[in-house]
Amino acid sequence: MPNYDMYAVIMAGGQGTRLWPLSTLARPKQFIDIGGESLLTRTFKRISPLVPPENVLVVTGKSQGELARECLPALPEANVIEEPVGKNTAPCIGLSAVYAERSLGLEPENSVMIVLPADHLISRDGMFRDILRSGTELAYERGEYVTLGIEPTRPATGYGYIRGGNPIPGFEPGREAESFTEKPDKETANAFLQSGDYYWNSGTFLWRTDRLLDGLREHLPDLYAGLDRIGHHVGEESEGDALSREYEGFSSVSIDYGLMEKTDDKAVVPASVGWSDLGDWPSLGLVLDGVEDGNSLHGEVEFHSSANNLVYNGDEKPAVLLGVDDLVVANTSEALLVMKKHEAQAVKAIAKAHSKDDGGKNDS
């Protein structure tokens, strides 16, 4: 096995507004206790056999550092980075590369970054780590920008898609990544599904640090220049001021659009690891307790002549469902939400409306 350092970057920003009223600005979904531990904790534990705690960076939002440390007591305190303001994934990932070199002491040409969203579900942890091992070898040896791709099971329009090309000799089942398509319409998504050559973009990336920085320098030069200026202040008293000053000028851009869509040296590694981005209430049912008739629950809940319901009850009083199907019921200290499952994508707008009513407490 090649001799290189692996380190992980866990992106723990974002507000998870589609899981309102469980997910709020005060405690977004990655920090919520679901099934005994937070999604951030699960992500950290999942990679712990592969990456030691001192080589894990957690990037989160302003004033959320304590929530991250609360979830991850084994993580060195200095390994939690608070962005002054969210500017999408490209600044977050680029900033992590700077800290890996200046704070962790890793050499860019001899280290591979594993980028992980904090709030995704993986049910096959061991297989996931095996894929990461082979993916980091591909990234290190060939200098590829690698994405883990999920074989689609339905024509979903809320995910990005990657078209897989020719197999990469010596790194099967890795394939050349021919194109990225962000959130296609239903007809296009169905065509992608039928072709068998497309994968969902899992949001998990692997690349050698120097290759990432080269890509940012070429395709996002303003971001690269700002990150370079931040690097001179890491570990100094001026670090916070430098972060705030530079972030004010950064454009909000995703790593997919800013880099992956523009570079030729990219690959996709298929990953059948029981993945879900837990992006809405129905998908949350994957981590709640399942009971009879397709119902799932958290808390004190009773079902009578009811099927395919999801109930999250954060109250001491029991929730009782009688003669209803396909509902989501979320009862929290924030609000009571009752909706049909097919309305799940509309929750984001409801959350934003309520955030305006309460002074922005839950705005995303």
**Alpha-carbon gap, residue 315 to 147, rounded angstroms:** 41
Residue-by-residue pLDDT tens, the chain, 364 positions: 568 999 999 999 887 788 999 988 888 889 988 778 899 999 999 999 999 999 999 999 988 999 999 999 999 999 999 999 999 999 999 999 999 999 999 999 999 999 999 999 899 999 999 999 999 999 999 999 999 999 998 898 888 899 999 999 989 889 999 988 888 889 999 999 999 999 999 999 999 999 999 999 999 999 999 999 999 999 999 999 999 999 999 999 999 999 998 998 999 999 999 998 888 898 888 788 899 999 999 999 999 999 999 999 998 899 999 999 999 999 999 899 999 999 988 998 888 888 765 544 433 3
Return the pLDDT at 345: 84
* Those residues with Cβ within 8 angstroms of residue 206's Cβ, 6 or more apart along the chain or in another chain: 112, 113, 114, 115, 132, 135, 136, 138, 139, 146, 147, 148
CB 245 within 8 A of CB 273: no
The two structure tokens encoding residue 254: 């995703």
CB 144 within 8 A of CB 267: yes
Q: Tell me: cis bond preceding 282? Omega within 30 of 0 counts.
A: no
Torsion sign, CA atoms 22, 256, 275, 4: negative
As beta bridge partners, residue 199 has 162
Return the pLDDT at 360: 42
Sequence length of the chain is 364
- In single-letter form, the type of residue at position 113 comes to M
Q: Tell me: cis bond preceding 21? Omega within 30 of 0 counts.
A: yes
The full set of domains in the chain, from first to last, is: 5-276 (3.90.550.10), 281-357 (no CATH)
Return the pLDDT at 362: 37
Put the strands of the sheet holding 310-313 in their side by side order.
289-290, 296-298, 310-313, 327-331, 336-340
**Alpha-carbon gap, residue 53 to 47, rounded angstroms:** 9
- State the angle between helix axes of 221-231 and 89-102 in degrees (0 to 180), rounded to the nearest 10: 30
Torsion sign, CA atoms 90, 24, 124, 42: positive
Query: Please, what is the end-to-end C-alpha distance for the chain in angstroms?
Result: 43
Return the pLDDT at 2: 63
CA 119 to chain centre: 5
